[in-house]
Amino acid sequence: MMEGIWLGVCCLSGWLILPTCPLHQYYFIKEPLTWNEAQTYCRQKYTDLATMENADDLNQLQRLLSSSGHNSGVWFGLYSKINWKWSDGFTGSGAEYRDWGTNEPHFQMDHFCVYKYTTWSSYNCDSELKFSCYTGTPDNHQLVPVTKAMNWSNAQKHCRENYVDLATVTNANQDQQVGKLVPYMGFIWIGLFRDPELYWSDGSSFSWSNFDHFKTTISSNTVLCGLTSLQKSMIWRLWYCEERKPFVCQLTVRRQVVKLRIDLGDSSVDLNDAAVKAEILEKASVQTAPRDVRNIQSRSQDEGKRAFK
């Protein structure tokens, strides 16, 4: 069964001063699908999976889910590519070597850099740790311990200016050599990192987020997908895209400017009065609503079910 709930308003501007017009109209789809299946459905029936660019969008989607009575996780349009790289750009034999610890690596905002302790862990790149540079080549190199703690970017800069780069680790023997530094240095930055690579399904630029400190184990996944819920106060998480969840589509609305010429029989009428504005908007909304919005509003639930089948 495929159920859709519509939430949106008609926005006018011109001679009247009105609230900000939402650019996205959201539709809750109850049928659980994988993230990719949900994306395909939304692109066929609406515009795309839901994008949230500010707190107003988040609040609008929250009201929609509240009206639907659905509290658990729903897909929306955010996703992240998982692509670990070495600081020196090494891609040869051994570049895929890893010594991850239990539940590592994980996704958490800003945890895009890697340190060595007993095993490897992803960590906040702004944290200041000691680190290991190298001289020579990635295949045949000598480690250079640096005992002054720096964040990952500054550690990278220091290694590049004074040696070759942060340590590249391509096999168990090299990993053991870094491990020998741990007893007197503690946590040690190495050269492995990944870019944030956060994207919206509709191609919007990523500039606002609502993540918490929840960790998602990445394992062998190369992509994680956006999940939110009323139960978790609309906090965003990245989750496993192949799980089946309900989802939220969006219809992207173009702003519409409408100028109204009003003949007043009574000169005492105040156009700034809230009740007068509301009456004018009510009379104008049907004529000014975008055609595609009116068409979607007129769909019955039965039609939506048949379209999904």
Residue 167 has pLDDT above 50, yes or no: yes
Domain residue ranges in the chain: 4-80+202-308, 84-194
Residue 191 has pLDDT above 50, yes or no: yes
d(CA 80, CA 39): 15
pLDDT value at residue 304 = 36
Residue 55 has pLDDT above 50, yes or no: yes
Residue 150 contacts by C-beta under 8 Å, 6 or more apart in sequence?
128, 129, 131, 158, 189
d(CA 121, CA 200): 27
Q: What end-to-end distance do the CA atoms of the chain give, in Å?
A: 9
At the topology level, CATH places domain 4-80+202-308 in: Mannose-Binding Protein A; Chain A (3.10.100)
DSSP assigned state of 134: E
pLDDT value at residue 124 = 94
152 vs 266, residue with greater confidence: 152
Residue 253 has pLDDT above 80, yes or no: no
48 vs 4, residue with greater confidence: 48
pLDDT value at residue 10 = 43
| DSSP three-state, residue 300 | coil
Length of the chain: 309
284 confidence band (pLDDT: 50, 70, 90): low
For the chain, give percent helix, strand, coil, nearest 5. 25, 30, 45
Residue 87 has pLDDT above 60, yes or no: yes
Residue 304 contacts by C-beta under 8 Å, 6 or more apart in sequence?
2, 3, 4, 45
pLDDT value at residue 255 = 53
Residue 190 has pLDDT above 80, yes or no: yes
- Percent of the chain past pLDDT 70, that is, above it, reads 76
Pure H helices in the chain: 35-45, 55-68, 152-162, 172-179, 182-185, 274-288, 291-297, 301-308
pLDDT value at residue 286 = 47
164 vs 261, residue with greater confidence: 164
Whether this prediction's pTM lies above 0.85 is answered by: no
Contact 79, 71 (CB under 8 A): no
